[in-house]
Structure 1
Amino acid sequence: MNTIQKNFLFAGAILLTAVVLQACTDSKGERKAIPNASEPVPVKVMSLEKSTNLTDIKASGQLTTDDETTLSFKSGGVIGAVLVKEGEAVKKGQLLATLDLTELNAQVAQARFSYEKAQRDLQRITNLYRDSVATLEQLQNVQTGLDIAKQQLEAVTFNRTFAEIHAPANGFVLRKFVNAGQVVSTGNPVLVTNGAAKGDWILKVGVSDKQWAEVKNGDKTTVQIDAFPEKTFKGTVLRRSETSDPQTGAFTLELKVENDGVKLAAGMFGSAVIHSGVSVTSWSVPYEAVLDANGNEGFVFVTDDSRTARKQPVTIASFDGRTIRISAGLENASALVIAGSAYLSDRSPIQILK
């Protein structure tokens, strides 16, 4: 070892000694002993008692109505006029939009002319058949031609009738997709309306498959709408979807909301607590006691002998902002560490504070 290396090692030793001495000195410069890892950690504990509670399921979604309807024209064509705007109130039977009728009127006239000609042809062939000039086959063919012309006239007249869109019920226009002059195809959406005037509001929420299985139609719910934070609405589970959303994997619940005369609007965001009636046995613990929570998993420290802490994985059932309900993992524990857990490791000695 050369001189440079010896000097480097010597300097490192001096630096290490200084660090150790500083670690053993308090803020006043007095020597202080390094805490021993075997010393008990002061903790507070609580006794564990299992309780049975009804399951409450929390979910959120948007308001809609049961009769939300997408309106469109049966035939394609050029939009003649859209007579309403988004958010406008409408009455049942009110004219909302029309197609330009030039083409449809021409089709109706053409079909009528064909039908009138078929009538004249039938009359002429009938007279010839009576005079034994026309054959029975000719008479039958003309009769068939008249029937076809009649059906064609009825079809284009029917299409002409559905070149206008009328409000199916009292309500509101939610969305407008087109304006006058646009060309639309058969069935293209033109307007979306609902019957909100009746007050039949529904909150559609998404839940997991496990939560879906715990809910049944008729379960009571408590709903809060973000636009009215001080008010709580009552509701019931109206319907459950029989398949999951292919994009999110969630199941949809439709909750009927009693609006109590409050003016609501489609698309408002709301949250619901569904009282499923399914009982579950669990432990209620302070949220500070659960460490490294991830989804429905976490761990706590428990003690069986009041002298040693044991690290215990647990399953989280719910969290209400103050307490956490543990559904599994505490079956064989008698006391739970609720303060001082951050300084513990598995099998750490503890000192229980009063």
Structure 2
Amino acid sequence: MNHFSKVILLLVTGLSVACGKTETESSLPQKGAAIPVEVISLQPGSFSSEITASGTFTTKDETLLSFKIGGVISKILVNEGDAVKAGQVLATLDLTEIQAGLTQAKLAYEKALRDQQRVERLFKDSVATLEQLENSKTGLDIAAQQVKTAEFNLNYSQIRASKSGFVLRKFANAGQLIASGAPVLQVNGAQDDNWILQATVTDQQLNQLSLGDSATIYPATSETGVSGTLIRKSQAADTQTGTYWIEVSPISKNGLKLAAGMFGKVTLSPSAQKDGWQIPYQALLDAQGDTGYVFVTADGKTCKKIQIKLGNISQNTVQVISGLEGYTQLIVTGSAYLADGSTIEIKNK
């Protein structure tokens, strides 16, 4: 490369560097100069924040079924997952001992009846005393009640479905010795189509919700949501998690394929309105949790950095619950170059 070419190359390189530096420096505010910004007017209003929660589906009528008395299980006629109808026999005990107890009670009643009749005749002949007559009547009444008890136990030596639904769990098998009241089967009333989604929310979210608020439920088995209604909410926090449960009922259950314990999500729309502001997302600085910062101006010449409390944050806007009281102009562009108290020049007057 000759000397002339080297000179030309150095000149071109120098011009490129100079041009790049000028372009970069020209885009930055000069020290001490007013920083150009754009502002919008702050208009307070009312809005509601959607609440998202998750939980599991249940029918709220899951029941543990057991025998009233203990004994040896003769038959269990259903398995887990089977559909059952109200009144259907699900399991029975071996009736040998129970029927023997009923027969014994009936024989005791017959004997007490004969004794009472004999004492009554003797009392008429002044042979038996009044006390003996009353005791015989009492013995007869006791024997009658023992028969009723044995008949009741025989009747409850079978387990019947309390309502139409499904068998959720099976805790015992035929031939097993079972104690009185020990669970044998767990069933629900799912065939009555009374599914609900039980979800958990925070204390702040609970205070925003009211019974009857509309909701959209997203079951794990469906890609689309179904409409629902908030029907119940707890009045005490869970001692372990500190959260509160709510129950949401689907309005239309057609086509839903649900099972007890299935996961689901819900988006609730509180009817209670909040007072606050909706501001552009680009105006928000240093957001963390439910707090953030913005720049405002009161005189149009200087800015002030203030802390705000946030509601929902969407793609384009942010809900501000508090912090903007008393301010009318919010800075939305130019915030990257600002510090608290910086001199500004409003460009969109």
Both structures adopt the same fold (TM-score exceeding 0.5): yes
Aligned equivalent of 2:103: 109
Q: 2:244 aligns with which of 237, 242, 251?
A: 251
Match of residue 319 from structure 1:
313
Tell me if structure 2 keeps the 8 A contact 1:61–1:204.
Answer: yes
Structure 1 residues 176, 340: closer, same or farther in 2, change over 3 A? farther
Change (3 A) 1:138 1:264: same
> Letter of the aligned partner of 1:249 in structure 2?
G
Spell out, residue by residue over 1:10-41, the C-alpha distance to the aligned partner (whole angstroms, 9 max, x if none): xxxxxxxxxxxxxxxxxx8x999999987777
Q: Once the 2 structures are TM-superposed, how far is the Cα of residue 61 of structure 1 from its aligned partner?
A: 2.0
In the other structure, the counterpart of 1:239 is 232
Task: Kindly provide the CA deviation profile for residues 63-83 of structure 1, in whole angstroms up to 9, marking residues without a partner as x.
Answer: 222543332222234433332
Q: Which moved more, 1:266-275 or 1:144-153?
A: 266-275
Aligned twin of 1:262? 255
Tell me how many residue pairs correspond in the alignment: 326
Match of 1:331 among 325, 328, 332: 325
Match of residue 75 from structure 1: 69
Q: Secondary structure at the match of 2:136?
A: helix
What amino acid is aligned across from residue 246 of structure 1 in structure 2? Answer: T
Asked if the contact 2:210/2:271 (under 8 Å) is kept, the reply is: no
SS in 2 for 1:277: coil
Counterpart Cα distance in 2 of 1:269 and 1:140: 66
Q: Is the 8 A contact 1:317 1:324 kept in 2?
A: yes
RMSD over equivalenced CA pairs, Å: 3.5
Task: Tell me, yes or no, if structure 1 residue 137 matches structure 2 residue 131.
Answer: yes
Partner of 2:216: 222
Deviation (angstroms), 1:44: 6.3
Judged with a 3 Å threshold, the aligned counterparts in structure 2 of structure 1 residues 137 and 218 are, in CA distance, closer, same or farther, namely: same
SS at match of 1:227: coil
3-state DSSP class of the match of 2:169?
strand
Q: Supply the distance in 2 between the matched residues of 1:77 and 1:128 (Cα, whole angstroms).
A: 44
3-state secondary structure, aligned to 2:118: helix
Tell me, what secondary structure is at the counterpart of 2:86?
A: coil
Of the three residues 170, 181, 202, the one matched with 1:176 is 170
- Equivalent of residue 297 in structure 1, options 291, 302, 312: 291
Which residue in 2 is equivalent to 1:282?
276
Distance 1:344 1:92, change over 3 A: same
Deviation for aligned residue 1:164: 1.4
1:122-146 CA distances to partner (integer Å, 9 max, x unpaired)? Answer: 2222232233222111111111111
Could you tell me whether the CA contact under 8 Å between 1:83 and 1:97 is conserved in 2?
Answer: yes
> 2:304 corresponds to which residue?
310
8 Å contact from structure 2 (residues 210, 272) kept in 1: no
Q: Pick from 178, 195, 206: which aligns with 2:200?
A: 206
- Equivalent position SS for 1:271: strand
Change (3 A) 1:315 1:158: same
Question: Cα 1:141–1:292, aligned 2, differ >3 Å: closer, same or farther?
Answer: farther
Q: Confirm or deny that 1:188 pairs with 2:159.
A: no
Give the TM-score taking structure 1 as reference length: 0.76
CA, structure 1 residues 336+173, in 2 after alignment: closer, same or farther (shift >3 Å)?
Answer: farther
